[in-house]
């Protein structure tokens, strides 16, 4: 997707400044692909435990690691479930619209929201299945990866 964004943006710049007649659809394609990259990439970050995280409370209260792990992962799962649900509603609403330049259904762009949320939620569930409900993703990383 990044390669396609790069190619489409290059085509836009080339046709606008060299040819003097820009392609009108390139900006939309780049924008929608960026949305997909962001949401699917966020799910990939959940899978690899690469999201930004604060472990201040875990370091201050080591005896609270288990409840903090459960609370953190529960909050993340609840947020992702809410994002999935609202993403479906937004996608259904957007299905009545078409994009200005491409003339395709806007649901293709909005579909990135529930897909990204579902993938991230899947990775949270896989983490729970692998490590237990109270395990925090930082527990799986080596200490040198955290610091």
What residue ranges do the domains of the chain occupy? 2-146
User: The tokens 């900006």 sit on which residue?
Assistant: 27
Query: How high does pLDDT run on average in the chain?
Result: 88
Q: Residues 42, 74: contact at Cβ < 8 Å?
A: no
Whether the Cβ atoms of residue 80 and residue 120 lie closer than 8 Å to each other: yes
Written as six digits, the tokens of 17 are: 């400044």
Distance CA 52, CA 72 (A): 13
Mean pLDDT to the nearest integer, 127-145: 70
- pTM over 0.75? The answer is yes
Higher-confidence residue of 123 and 67: namely 123
- Tell me which residue has tokens 């400044």: 17
| Unique residue bearing structure tokens 């899978």 | 47
- Can you give the pLDDT at residue 111? 97
Joined together, the tokens standing for residue 115 give 């897909």
pLDDT tens for each residue of 59-84: 888 888 888 888 888 898 999 999 99
Percent of the chain with pLDDT over 90: 61
Mean pLDDT of 104-127: 95
How far from 135 is each of 66, 88, 142, CA to CA, in Å?
Answer: 7, 29, 14
Cα separation, 90 vs 69, in Å, equals 31
Lowest-confidence range among 67-71, 92-96, 101-105? Answer: 67-71
Beta strand spans in 22-89 (E): none
Say what the pLDDT of residue 33 is.
95
């Amino acid at each position: 997707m990044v390669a396609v964004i790069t190619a489409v943006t290059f085509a836009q710049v080339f046709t606008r400044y060299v040819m003097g007649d820009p392609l009108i659809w390139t900006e939309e394609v780049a924008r929608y692909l960026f949305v997909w990259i962001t949401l699917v990439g966020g799910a990939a970050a959940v899978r690899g435990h690469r999201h930004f995280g604060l472990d201040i409370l875990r370091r201050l209260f080591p005896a609270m690691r288990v409840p903090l792990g459960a609370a953190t992962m529960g909050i993340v799962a609840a947020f992702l479930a809410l994002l999935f649900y609202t993403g479906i509603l937004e996608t259904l609403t957007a299905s009545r619209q078409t994009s200005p330049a491409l003339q395709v259904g806007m649901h293709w762009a909005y579909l990135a929201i529930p897909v990204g949320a579902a993938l991230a939620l899947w990775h949270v569930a896989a983490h729970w299945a692998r490590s237990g409900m109270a395990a925090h993703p930082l527990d799986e990383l080596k200490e040198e990866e955290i610091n």
